[in-house]
Amino acid sequence: MRIQDDRPGGAGGSPDDRSYGAHAQRPRGAKGAAKSTQSLGARQHNYYDEDDGYSAGEATSLVGGVGEDSGYAEELGKQRKPFAWNGGTDLGLLVLRLALGGVFLLHGAQKLFGAFGGPGPEGFAQVLSGMGFQQSAALSLVTGGTELGAGALLVLGLFTPAAAAGVVGLMASAVFVKLGAGFFNADGGFEMDAILGAVGIGLLFTGPGRVALDYGRVWFRRPLGFGFFGLIIAAGAAAAILILFHRP
**pLDDT > 90? residue 237:** yes
HSE value, Cβ hemisphere, 13 Å, CA-based, for 80: 8
Q: Are 128 and 111 in contact (CB under 8 A)?
A: no
Q: What is the pLDDT of residue 127?
A: 95
pLDDT one-digit tens code per residue, 19-68:
444 444 444 544 444 444 444 444 454 544 444 444 444 444 444 444 55
Q: Are 246 and 132 in contact (CB under 8 A)?
A: yes
Q: What is the pLDDT of residue 83?
A: 65
The pair phi, psi for residue 246, each rounded to 5°, is -100, 125
pTM score, whole prediction: 0.67
Q: What is the pLDDT of residue 38?
A: 45
Strand partners, 246: 133
Helical axes 87-113 vs 160-177, angle rounded to 10°:
60
HSE value, Cβ hemisphere, 13 Å, CA-based, for 121: 13
Q: What is the pLDDT of residue 62?
A: 45
pLDDT one-digit tens code per residue, 79-138:
666 666 689 999 999 999 999 999 999 999 999 999 999 999 999 999 999 999 999 999
**pLDDT > 80? residue 153:** yes
